Structure 1
Amino acid sequence: MLTSTKELLETAQKHSYAIGAFNLYNLEGAKAVVNAAEAENSPAIIQILPHVLDYGGSALVALFLEAADSAKVPMSVHLDHCGDRSMIKTALEAGVTSVLADGSELSFQDNLAFTSEMTDLAHAKGATVEAEVGRISGTEDGMTVAQKEAKMTNPQQAKEFVAESGVDFLAVTIGNVHGKYHGEPQLDFDRLAKIRQQLQIPLVLHGASGLPAKMIRQSIELGICKFNVNTEVRKKYLQFWREYGRKESQIDLLDCQKAATAAMQEVIAEKIGLFGSAGKA
């Protein structure tokens, strides 16, 4: 059933678990998330990146909304990492339940002004807003931020930002990265604890792909209610098609689509178990 992202995260915060937010590209991804969430009796979030929205348009958003609404468990649809006003408006008009108004590349004051404007717009549409204070490094589909451009979240600035912008949840930067971790992840949990002390709203951690279970658990204990996942699910999908492409025998395309869905579903189910949301629908 289609549900408010804010409601999902506030419930997770209250009961000390986190919800997986999975960046998707097509029907197979949507079915993989719905199937895994229903099998694990877990809430989940479908996410769409701006360049994917640009490619698929309102039809792809409609597909994701229908998938979420027809699910037997609570789900929402979220526009991820968008700094474009017109695209945020398009996504809200299409019916997404939440957006990440991403002004993290801007100065603090410009980020605040942009986020406040988008928050007013989203709230008027009945949607909710995620913001980012600090800037996460790494490479993900359609986005690259060099390490030198990354900036850790300042706890006091985060408090000021949330109070003035009225955002509903906040993505933090504590050493997490988009894409692949080169070496063992190093998360600043002292910083996260200080941010948690300053804020009551749900917190979000991007770059959950590759984080060990111990770090996931500690992040949840310190207030993380939403983990973004892309790399591992996308990698599994591409791996399936690479292996299929080397086979000589002809296989029905629909059978391949079902098998690709099942491969992604396995990864998603593992994440649901890791985040503690299984059985919480």
Structure 2
Amino acid sequence: MSDAFQGREGKPRRRGPRWPILATAAALSLAGCMAPGGGFDGEEGCRPQLTSFNAAGDAFLGNARRDPSGLLPLGTVPTNFGRSAETLDAELRQENAELDALQIAFDALLYCRWIEARLVRAELAAGRIARPVAESRMAALRSRLQRDLTRAQAVLDSLEQRASAREAALEAAAPGTREATRRARAETGATRRVVAAATVPLRLRPEAAAPEIGRVPAGQAVTVRPAQSGFALVEGQGGLRGYAPTGAFQIAERTARAVAGGGPLRQLAATNIARRDNFAESLGLAREAAVSGFELAS
């Protein structure tokens, strides 16, 4: 194809250079590989999980794309908490769904990071990489994990701000919700002391397939608190912390308790609190696991 075209006077004119357009397209393509903050991370091994987690967090941090109509960012949880019970009901349901997606994405990213760390240790033990290389890779992993945890904390802060902002509207739409949810939170967060009858593995997340991050020796006293999915959050001496099946200690599972006489809005508020608490728990445990789980054996 010729680079010339006919002008209005019939004289040939030259097209402008194409390289600015190509350069712009290339820059846009590379933007999807940029780490938060603008740094290019060509060694990111958990790109799909990181992309999912960032997208889920955008719903609460206000970074989602606008929809074609321009009315509401795609995937963004509404913040217009009016006094209408129907409006609050719809908005809490959407936020709960977004919280489920956020938790799943965060769990998947943590698991991927943990597997990466295990792989570095395994390659070092097998003599496939030198220790300086392993130390460099593990340091990069810790840096990525800290970036993930910083973003997770920002999302959690936003969640708490949203909850605080809508508290008055919830109370007006369903009087007694504030006290009922406070009481439900206290009841579901109750802890008790138990003694492990046998050695109990502790896991990073309340899932049977989650990485093991520690063990409770037989005969050791620990504090347990009902969690989710049939697991309990276990805490012991020396900073020991993780999840174990409730059957190991015979305690009840934590669930969002129904609030008598409060109707569906109160129940939605209780389930929202349970989801936020679960995310906060997983963030706290990930911070602790980052200390010991991303180091090389001496």
Q: Does TM, scored on the shorter chain, surpass 0.5?
A: no
Could you say which structure has the higher strand fraction? 1
TM-score band, normalised by the shorter chain? under 0.3
Alignment TM-score, normalising by the size of structure 2: 0.24
With a CA cutoff of 8 Å and minimum separation of 6, indicate the structure with the bigger relative contact order: 1
TM norm structure 1:
0.25
Tell which structure's C-alpha radius of gyration is larger: 2
